[in-house]
Structure 1
Amino acid sequence: MKILDCTLRDGGYYTGWDFSDDLVNNYLDLAKHLPINIVEVGYRGNRKKKSYFGEYYFLTKTKLQNIKKKIGNRTKISIMIDLKDWKTPKELELNLKDCRSCVDLVRFAVNPRNLSKIKKYLEITKKLGFTVAVNLMYVHLTLKDKKIISNVIKLNKYYDILYLVDSYGTLIPGDVGNIIKKIKLIDKNLKIGFHSHNNLELALSNSIEAIDHKVDFVDCTFTGMGRGAGNLKTELLLSYLGIRLNKIKIKNFKNIGNVVDKFEEIRNEEKWGATLPYMISGSTNSPQSEAMQLIKSKRYDMTDIVSYLFKKKEKKINIIKKLNFKKKEVLIIGGGITVKKKINYLQEFLKEKKNLFVIFSSSRNTELFKNLSARSVTCITGNEILKINKNYLNKNKFIINNLIDDKTLLPKKNQNFFKLKKNLLSKKINNSPLAISLAAAKEINAKKIFLIGFDGFNKTDKINNYSLFNENQKIINFYDKRMNMVFLSETSYDVKNRTSIFKYLK
């Protein structure tokens, strides 16, 4: 049985695939002296991707060569390919050709529903000389759908390893063994790997079961760093193997401790692990990416998230008011510090543009506009209503998304609430304050939308801020093509039209 450590690849979900050179160097120095056979260092992503991703998502040839030199020949290097990044096999082939000298294993994250589409990608990669693995996601589905296993095994001449990925962290003891037995009944020679998630704190138990059923590879990450609830901890697996197989000497633990401490520092900020929302997503067969997105959005408390994961129902709220009027120009005010910095100029701007309609994307800066004469609404999503005082709630107008679920808190009296007719964005991001604001601007047929207070976040900020940055950038990209958006202050977002508020003042 071989160990594959994928800390940098899976941990990238919490850092945007950016890691400090010191951390990576210490990690690689440690990995090459441990019984770790393969290190997966990230993605070989498509550079046409528009959103920001760090250097361990877009691994360059030079970076891969440096890693190879650092880690030596004993430890193999793996990269992951996300098939959603690639339109044609030829496009992927051109990307992979450059890294044949420094990459040993190429793994493909594969949705079982898309098995019919992967053959050419696997074939080309294998012809280039790489060892090829299929990471079969949502492997819990195979417990009920026997065709998935037979369909993936039909393709086995195009890959070398079949990885079973417990995507939702929903497998329990007994499940892993049953799936492996089904595979071995069809092809006893097929190499099998197992990638666990720790939603139910069963990553170690399930991995031991996989080992007992003679899998060839087991995945792990230091401190369990990985998407959502995280993975099997490398240090835990090595401790277990040390007791059972004497694979690690006790003197190694000091070096492990030094690297673990560094990753624990990140964990203390980013909070991965089997928290209650991830436990519920695991026990209800729900995508942990959904729980992860809710936690990172900062718009919901733990009770709201847990309630939603259990129910996932739309609330039946009788809000019938719609924005049945038109305005040529709209000002959307975000929660950034630039609003306070430029408040005097904003007041002057509002005097100049008397017919402007104002949308407060959040309640954060509303106290600066107590004497606002312009018509306005404030966006409500998540638990934003708890941040608004009763006086403001009674005197002002509010706008909510067209779909209302258990995550959004609303008052019993909602006569001054409007509801969107339509929100064009994906459900994954359309409940964000910026998405609701821009949907409202489009609904009233605005020809020009001014924005201020959307300062953005540093792309290397902690994951919650990075995630919000990425979410907002996607929303901006979507509406930049459809509306005339003008940013009136400095912003770290990539926008078409960035100008200065001073241009509009006398």
Structure 2
Amino acid sequence: MIKILDCTLRDGGYYTNWDFSKEVVDKYIKHTNNLPIDYLEVGYRSKPIDGYLGKYFYMPVYELAYIKSNTQKKLVIILNEKDVRVEDLDELLKPIQGIVSMVRIALDPQQLLRAVKLAEAIKTYGFEVGFNVMYMSKWKQYDDFLNNLVHVNGVADYFYMVDSYGGVFPADVKETIALVRSKVDVKLGFHGHNNLELALINSLTAMEEGVEIIDSTILGMGRGAGNLKTELFLTALNSQHGLDLNFNALGDVVDAFSGLHEKYNWGTNLPYMISGGNSLPQKDVMDWVTTRFYSFNSIIQALQNQKEKVKDNEQLPVFKPQGSTKRVVVIGGGKGAYEHVDAVREFIRNDKDVTIVHASSKNALAYQDLENEQIFCLVGNEGHRMEKVFDDLGNFAGQTILPPFPRKMGTYVPSCVKNNSFELESVTFTDKYQDSHTALALQITHDLGAEEIYLVGYDGYNDFPIAEKERQLTAENEFLFNRFLEYSNKQVQAITPTRYDIPMNSVYSMIYDK
């Protein structure tokens, strides 16, 4: 029977930042003990890198020892070849000898020879070695890789074909297996992603073609569109091959991850399908879908443009304000913008020279009838959002401002606001997150020459625990506020409640005598 390697804790870490609660891990260990799974890949062993990444990215020895003492399965860790060299192995591997059975190497096919040298050194520590070779759908483009496959013989215990983009079909699996077998004489493995929901049939095809080991994860938890579902694969093997299966244990381990699935909602969607079908990077799609709020049409257009190596940007007139504006109110998408709307409107109404900059159109309707100049940041899906927020844009009197040309996601501008649409010449205060709502809004205040900038509806996130998407957006906004304050030396303050580390005032203190 086929061997199964479950890599939920390693691959699922892309959603949890490699943090899992002890309760989830304990249930995972307990219930996989009663399932026909051979290996558990529990995380990376990594050298320190900037930023926070959790326990299962670094896999401390104490955690590996704890898991080892409670599981009947062989343990696996993975090394990212691009970050690890032979001289790092003493530090990474010596402490886990006798605990971990297999070390896998995640590698770009164009770095095969470098990975072979790394694998030769790993073998001296007594571990099984697996090669996880990415970008399977593009292997035929790499002549050097194909010619160098022979060097894997005698080094790898398992050679994995990784469908990184989730876009191969069963015929591709068969063809690739035949190609690899013509070059190497080692056991083969398959790691399928689920962009086109073909991970199961591709894995079954690989199995029929004699592949010895298959990767899977509970509920398909994994980067982007996710992986072959362990529970689905085991059920198929039970149905078609009579695999003895404890369905109570299977249900229990699925339940352990159901809360995470509800929180992160991994799985395929239309942009992931397009990226898989065209072998385009999931990383870009994951970012666009989860943190940038782009429309599906925008994402798909951008993916198609990547494939064809073209830019679909429409160049607009550059935003060049006539004169300067002393005071600007920036209105974000938080609840504070409508919970305190009467006070904010009173503050703005008292000074017709105040310019309103809508970082998001979400709360814009409540301020529509004010006579002050209004500017709308048009990022990602905002053009479509404006059409939903306003029943009628026919009398639109504001301006819409887009990020500088060229833009990652192309351009969507509602036709009725086209004549009042402009783009920034540049974003000068930061080289990161230049296409974000907040970066655009802050740059507009700078270009307007504002001396006083008041933030409304930049609440921060009050829910706990904070979801990964909100955590990333919070960190992004904090970074942008800090950079802008350092760059501009302007008076910036939030006048509605905020959790951001920025100066605060109360809109009510500013209108109490009005």
TM > 0.5 fold call: yes
Paired letter, 1:4? L
Decide which of 391, 394, 414 is 1:411's aligned counterpart: 414
Q: Does 1:282 align with 2:276?
A: yes
Q: CA deviation at 1:254?
A: 2.0
| Aligned equivalents of 1:204, 1:180: Cα separation in 2 | 17
Matched-pair contact (CA < 8 Å) for 2:133–2:159 = yes
Decide which of 359, 362, 365 is 2:363's aligned counterpart: 365
Correspondence for 2:146: 149
Residue deviations 1:124-147, cap 9 Å, x none?
Answer: 655555444332111111134332
Q: CA deviation at 1:193?
A: 1.8
Residue deviations 1:278-316, cap 9 Å, x none?
Answer: 222222222233333333247344455445544566445
Correspondence for 1:293: 287
Between stretches 212-221 and 431-440, larger displacement belongs to: 431-440
Matched-pair contact (CA < 8 Å) for 1:110–1:136 = yes
Between stretches 326-335 and 351-360, larger displacement belongs to: 351-360
Paired letter, 2:426? K
Match runs of 1:32-47 below 5 Å: 32-47=33-48
Q: CA deviation at 1:346?
A: 6.1
Q: CA deviation at 1:418?
A: 2.0
Q: Greater CA radius of gyration, 1 or 2?
A: 2
Query: Can you give the 5+ residue segments of structure 2 that lack an aligned partner in the other structure?
Result: none
Correspondence for 1:80: 78
Match runs of 1:80-159 below 5 Å: 80-83=78-81, 86=83, 94-115=91-112, 118=115, 122=119, 125-151=122-148, 153-154=150-151
Distance 1:177 1:60, change over 3 A: same
Correspondence for 2:168: 171
Matched-pair contact (CA < 8 Å) for 2:35–2:249 = no
Correspondence for 2:196: 200
Q: Does 1:186 align with 2:187?
A: no
Query: Can you give the 5+ residue segments of structure 1 that lack an aligned partner in the other structure?
Result: none
| Aligned equivalents of 1:505, 1:88: Cα separation in 2 | 60
Q: Does 1:422 align with 2:433?
A: no
Match runs of 1:85-484 below 5 Å: 86=83, 94-115=91-112, 118=115, 122=119, 125-151=122-148, 153-154=150-151, 160-188=157-185, 190-249=186-245, 252-297=246-291, 299-310=293-304, 314-315=311-312, 317=314, 319-323=316-320, 332-340=330-338, 359-367=357-365, 369=367, 376-381=374-379, 382=381, 383-389=384-390, 390=392, 394-402=396-404, 403-404=406-407, 408-413=411-416, 414-423=418-427, 430-440=434-444, 451=455, 453-457=457-461, 460-462=465-467, 464-466=469-471, 468-469=473-474, 472=477
Correspondence for 1:8: 9
Paired letter, 1:31? T
Matched-pair contact (CA < 8 Å) for 1:460–1:466 = no
Between stretches 9-18 and 132-141, larger displacement belongs to: 9-18
Paired letter, 1:135? N
Matched-pair contact (CA < 8 Å) for 2:174–2:205 = yes
Q: CA deviation at 1:366?
A: 3.2
Q: How many residues align?
A: 496
Distance 1:260 1:378, change over 3 A: same
| Aligned equivalents of 1:118, 1:168: Cα separation in 2 | 21
Question: SS at 2:56's partner residue?
Answer: coil
Q: CA deviation at 1:256?
A: 0.8
Distance 1:385 1:354, change over 3 A: closer
| Aligned equivalents of 2:68, 2:62: Cα separation in 1 | 10
Distance 1:186 1:93, change over 3 A: same
Matched-pair contact (CA < 8 Å) for 1:363–1:387 = no
Matched-pair contact (CA < 8 Å) for 1:38–1:75 = yes
Q: CA deviation at 1:431?
A: 3.1
Matched-pair contact (CA < 8 Å) for 1:119–1:155 = yes
Distance 1:490 1:505, change over 3 A: closer
| Aligned equivalents of 1:125, 1:353: Cα separation in 2 | 70
Q: CA deviation at 1:21?
A: 2.9
Paired letter, 1:6? C
Distance 1:454 1:42, change over 3 A: farther
Matched-pair contact (CA < 8 Å) for 2:305–2:312 = no
Q: CA deviation at 1:400?
A: 0.8
Distance 1:151 1:53, change over 3 A: same
Paired letter, 2:59? L
Q: CA deviation at 1:218?
A: 0.9
Residue deviations 1:174-216, cap 9 Å, x none?
Answer: 222222222222221x333210012222212211222233323
Matched-pair contact (CA < 8 Å) for 1:305–1:407 = no
Matched-pair contact (CA < 8 Å) for 1:3–1:218 = yes
Paired letter, 2:357? I
Q: Percent of aligned pairs with the same residue?
A: 33
Paired letter, 1:282? G
| Aligned equivalents of 1:434, 1:10: Cα separation in 2 | 31
Distance 1:214 1:336, change over 3 A: same
Q: CA RMSD in A?
A: 4.2
Residue deviations 1:62-109, cap 9 Å, x none?
Answer: 3332222222xx31222333456x487656753555444533333333
| Aligned equivalents of 1:278, 1:248: Cα separation in 2 | 34
Paired letter, 1:294? W
Between stretches 364-373 and 137-146, larger displacement belongs to: 364-373
| Aligned equivalents of 2:428, 2:125: Cα separation in 1 | 42
Paired letter, 2:189? G
Matched-pair contact (CA < 8 Å) for 1:438–1:479 = yes
Q: Does 1:65 align with 2:65?
A: yes
Q: CA deviation at 1:442?
A: 5.9
Question: SS at 2:503's partner residue?
Answer: coil
